[in-house]
C-alpha cells in the first residue's frame, strides 16, 4: 500500500515545464529545402535590417541552421543554461521569467513573432532567465559564433544587432519607469498600447488581438495582483476604452487609452 501511495504521489506531483533539447541540423543538400530562409520569411522586415542584397541574405540563410518547434508550456531554455545561440520567434509567443529563491515567478517580458530571445546570455555566457512558450511556437536557431563572423563583414547586420541590444536596454529602462512611477491604471493602459504597436508593426490589427498570456501573468509582469488587473480591464470597459471578451481584446478608443 505504501509503495502504491508513493507511486501515485509521484504521478500527481506538478511537473515543471520541460526544456526542449536543441539539435543543430547540418545544412546539406538533402535538408536545405527544409531549413528556414531569411530571404523568404514573412518576419524578415522585423528581425532583419532593411536593404540587404541577395548575396547577404544567402549568407544569413547559411547561418540559420535550423528551426525548432516548442509546445505550449515547454521551455526553450532555462536560466544558467550555456549560451550558444540566439532565437528569433518565427511563429507563436513566449514569456521570459526569473525564479526567485522562494520559488516565486517574476515575468520579465512577453515576446511575439519577430522578437529575438537569448540576447541577455551574451554577457555571462549563460542564459539569465527561463523562456517559456505561451502557445505552440516555432523559433529560428542562430548560432551566435557564426553570426559574429558574418557581422564582421556585413556592417548592416552588425548595426542591427547593436540596435537589438540597445532596444533591450530601453525596454528595461521603460519597465523600471512603469513599475516605479505609474499607477495601476497607467500600467495596464501602457501594456495594451505597447502590444497594439507591436502587432501593428507586424502587419496585424492594432485594434483587436488575442492575449496569449493570462491576467495573472500580466499582473506578474506589471507588478500587480490578479484582482487589480481584472479591475482595470473592467474599468476600461465601463469607460468604453477597451472591450474584452475572454482573452480577445479590442481597443475602442486608443486616444483615450493614451490619455490615461
CATH number of the domain at 89, please. 2.60.120.10
161 domain-assigned: no
Do both 40 and 95 map to the same domain? yes
CA 31 to chain centroid:
28
Q: What tens digit of pLDDT does each residue of 30-77 get?
A: 344 455 677 778 788 788 888 888 888 888 888 876 889 999 999 999
136 domain-assigned: yes
Q: What angle do the packed helices 226-238 and 215-222 form, to 10 degrees?
A: 100
138 domain-assigned: yes
CATH code, domain with 206: 1.10.10.10
Do both 112 and 205 map to the same domain? no
* pLDDT at residue number 190: 94
Which among 257, 239, 250, 247 is positioned nearest to 193, based on CA atoms?
Answer: 257
pLDDT grade, residue 100 (50/70/90)?
A: confident
* pLDDT at residue number 112: 95
175 domain-assigned: no
- Mean per-residue pLDDT for 76-80? 96
Longest dimension (CA), the chain: 70
Do both 220 and 100 map to the same domain? no
Do both 17 and 123 map to the same domain? yes
177 domain-assigned: no
83 domain-assigned: yes
Give the chain as a 3 state SS string: CHHHHHHHHHHHCCCCCCECCCCCCCCCCCCHHHCCCHHHCCCHHHHCCCCCCHHHHHHHHHHCCEEEEECCCCEEECCCCECCEEEEEEECEEEEEEECCCCCEEEEEEEECCCEECHHHCCCCECCCEEEECCCEEEEEEEHHHHHHHHHHCHHHHHHHHHHHHHHHHHHHHHHHHHHHCCHHHHHHHHHHHHHHHHHHCCCCCCEEECCCCHHHHHHHHCCCHHHHHHHHHHHHHCCCEEEECCEEEECCHHHHHHC
Do both 10 and 128 map to the same domain? yes
User: Per-residue pLDDT for 18 more than 70?
Assistant: no
Q: What tens digit of pLDDT does each residue of 110-137 get?
A: 999 999 999 999 989 999 999 999 999 9
- Residue carrying C-alpha cell 547561418: 63
Do both 102 and 228 map to the same domain? no
Total structural domains in the chain? 2
- Mean per-residue pLDDT for 82-95? 95
Do both 190 and 241 map to the same domain? yes
User: Per-residue pLDDT for 153 more than 80?
Assistant: yes
Q: What tens digit of pLDDT does each residue of 214-250 get?
A: 999 999 999 999 999 999 999 999 999 999 998 999 9
Do both 141 and 224 map to the same domain? no
* pLDDT at residue number 35: 59
Which among 195, 82, 56 is positioned nearest to 144, based on CA atoms?
Answer: 82
Which among 73, 55, 62 is positioned nearest to 14, based on CA atoms?
Answer: 73
* pLDDT at residue number 65: 66
User: Per-residue pLDDT for 207 more than 60?
Assistant: yes
Range of the domain at 221: 182-259
- Residue carrying C-alpha cell 468604453: 240
Do both 190 and 152 map to the same domain? no
Kindly report the average pLDDT of the chain as a whole number: 85
Do both 134 and 192 map to the same domain? no
User: Per-residue pLDDT for 211 more than 90?
Assistant: yes
Residue ending a domain, among 121, 156, 191, is 156
173 domain-assigned: no
Residue ending a domain, among 110, 140, 156, is 156
- Mean per-residue pLDDT for 170-195? 90
Do both 54 and 125 map to the same domain? yes
Do both 147 and 111 map to the same domain? yes
164 domain-assigned: no
Amino acid at each position: 500500500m505504501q509503495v502504491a501511495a508513493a507511486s501515485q504521489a509521484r504521478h500527481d506531483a506538478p511537473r515543471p515545464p520541460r526544456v526542449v533539447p536543441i539539435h543543430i541540423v547540418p545544412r546539406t543538400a538533402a535538408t536545405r529545402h527544409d531549413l528556414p530562409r531569411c530571404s523568404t520569411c514573412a518576419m524578415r522586415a522585423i528581425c532583419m535590417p532593411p536593404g540587404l542584397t541577395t548575396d547577404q541574405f544567402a549568407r544569413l540563410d547559411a547561418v540559420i541552421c535550423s528551426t525548432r518547434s516548442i509546445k505550449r508550456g515547454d521551455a526553450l531554455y532555462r536560466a544558467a543554461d550555456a549560451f550558444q545561440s540566439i532565437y528569433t520567434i518565427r511563429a507563436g509567443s513566449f514569456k521570459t521569467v526569473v525564479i526567485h529563491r522562494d520559488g516565486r515567478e517574476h515575468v520579465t517580458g512577453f515576446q511575439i513573432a519577430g522578437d529575438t530571445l537569448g540576447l541577455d546570455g551574451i554577457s555571462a555566457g549563460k542564459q539569465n532567465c527561463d523562456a517559456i512558450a505561451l502557445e505552440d511556437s516555432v523559433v529560428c536557431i542562430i548560432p551566435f559564433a557564426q553570426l559574429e563572423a558574418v557581422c564582421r563583414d556585413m556592417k548592416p547586420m552588425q548595426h542591427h544587432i547593436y540596435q537589438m541590444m540597445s532596444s533591450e536596454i530601453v525596454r528595461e529602462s521603460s519597465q523600471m519607469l512603469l513599475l516605479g512611477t505609474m499607477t495601476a491604471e497607467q500600467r495596464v493602459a501602457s501594456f495594451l498600447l505597447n502590444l497594439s504597436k507591436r502587432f501593428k508593426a507586424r502587419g496585424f490589427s492594432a485594434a483587436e488581438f488575442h492575449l496569449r498570456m493570462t491576467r495573472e501573468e500580466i499582473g506578474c509582469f506589471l507588478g500587480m495582483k490578479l484582482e487589480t488587473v481584472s479591475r482595470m480591464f473592467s474599468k476600461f470597459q465601463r469607460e468604453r476604452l477597451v472591450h474584452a471578451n475572454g482573452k480577445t481584446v479590442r481597443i475602442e478608443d486608443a486616444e483615450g487609452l493614451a490619455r490615461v
